[in-house]
Chain A
Amino acid sequence: MPRVVVDVMLKPEILDPQGSAILGALPRLGFDGVRSVRQGKHFELEVDEPVDEARLRELADTLLANSVIEEFTLQVMPL
């Protein structure tokens, strides 16, 4: 069954306090050299064939991402 991966990230201009908190924790744990952390969401969908990518983009735009604050990428994974 085809697998579709959707990654949702906050737009660059939107503050990501969770990413900032992770970034703040890293030096305390001895992980140096990380300049920035942005946290997002990763969705994996199993869909019927044939894959209608336009329809899937509509799905992602309608529900998975809020276009006011987020952007998404969509990949149909090879079988």
Chain B
Amino acid sequence: MKIGVVTFPGSLDDRDARRAIRVAGGEPVALWHGDATLRGVDAVVLPGGFSYGDYLRCGAIARFAPVMQTVIDRAGRGLPVLGICNGFQILCESHLLPGALTRNAHLHFRNRDQRLRVENTATSWTSGYRQGEEIVVPVKNGEGCFVAAPDVLDRLEGEGRVVVRYADGNPNGSVRDIAGICNDRGNVVGLMPHPEHAVEKLTGPSIDGLGFFTSVLTAAVS
């Protein structure tokens, strides 16, 4: 099972994402932003970082990278795609996910271990969790404040598309404590916190993040 991780100019967490995939039992494949091919992968991770220096808006330039045209097309046909932090911003800019990520309400970069509640376990990336399970993974962002129009929020809530919610304090002012959402099919998931930094005891606050990467292995096989 091959999972691609895209490297954009300014990506930071592409190596950690590839490592998390390996720890989970998958085969990580490095993908390059300027290359439209997905090299036969079964799923794609858009990692954290500051693609294109966050110029204009976070993810606004990355969205038009050659690789994203293929990702957008394949995501529409069911390819599992996980966007973490900057990757979530790119998914919103690409309109694969609704809403947008804006400057943290308190204007500070927030970096801490964060408790989350998993509220949707029917996605390609969260099927390994229990409904309502609480996990702790790092969060680190300056522009992680999720916003969307009230009717969009109501639809997300009504359709159970809030995948993870901040459980122990909201680090950035995200509306309704939303930390991550999915598309209507559940194959595209975006979240601000970093599950790839919580896959090994030595370096993470927990190994709670591993479930995202083990879930997709099951999803791709089934």
* Mask: chain B, 143-161; 1 = CB below 8 Å from A; 0 = not: 0010111000000000000
Is residue B220 within 8 Å, beta carbon to beta carbon, of the partner chain? no
Is A68 in contact with B148, judged by CB distance below 8 angstroms?
A: yes
B103 proximity list for chain A (CB < 8 A): 17-18
Closest A residue to B103 by beta carbon equals: A17
B93 proximity list for chain A (CB < 8 A): 66
Interface residues of B in 100-121 (CB under 8 A from A): 100, 102-107
Interface residues of B in 121-165 (CB under 8 A from A): 145, 147-149
Closest B residue to A64 by beta carbon equals: B56
B106 proximity list for chain A (CB < 8 A): 17
B104 proximity list for chain A (CB < 8 A): 17
B60 proximity list for chain A (CB < 8 A): 63, 66
Q: Give Cα A78–Cα B102 distance, bound, in whole angstroms.
A: 35
Is residue A34 within 8 Å, beta carbon to beta carbon, of the partner chain? no
Is residue A14 within 8 Å, beta carbon to beta carbon, of the partner chain? yes
* Mask: chain B, 60-101; 1 = CB below 8 Å from A; 0 = not: 100010000000000000000000000000001100001110
Partner of B147, one of A14, A18, A63, A64: A14
Q: Give Cα A14–Cα B57 distance, bound, in whole angstroms.
A: 15
Closest B residue to A41 by beta carbon equals: B56
Is B102 in contact with A14, judged by CB distance below 8 angstroms?
A: yes
Is residue B28 within 8 Å, beta carbon to beta carbon, of the partner chain? no
Is B56 in contact with A63, judged by CB distance below 8 angstroms?
A: yes
Closest A residue to B107 by beta carbon equals: A17
A68 proximity list for chain B (CB < 8 A): 92, 98-100, 148-149
* Mask: chain A, 20-56; 1 = CB below 8 Å from B; 0 = not: 0100000000000000000000000000000000000
**Besides the contacts A66-B93, A68-B92, what 9 more A-B pairs have beta carbons closer than 8 Å?**
A15-B173, A17-B103, A18-B103, A63-B60, A63-B64, A64-B56, A66-B57, A68-B100, A68-B148
Instruction: Enumerate the 6 nearest inter-chain pairs by beta-carbon distance, A residue then B residue, closest first.
Output: A69-B100, A68-B100, A17-B107, A17-B103, A17-B105, A21-B107
What are 25 pairs between A and B in contact, CB < 8 Å?
A: A10-B102, A14-B147, A15-B102, A15-B145, A15-B173, A17-B106, A17-B107, A17-B173, A18-B107, A21-B107, A63-B56, A63-B60, A63-B64, A64-B56, A66-B57, A66-B60, A66-B93, A66-B100, A68-B99, A68-B100, A68-B148, A68-B149, A69-B100, A69-B102, A69-B147
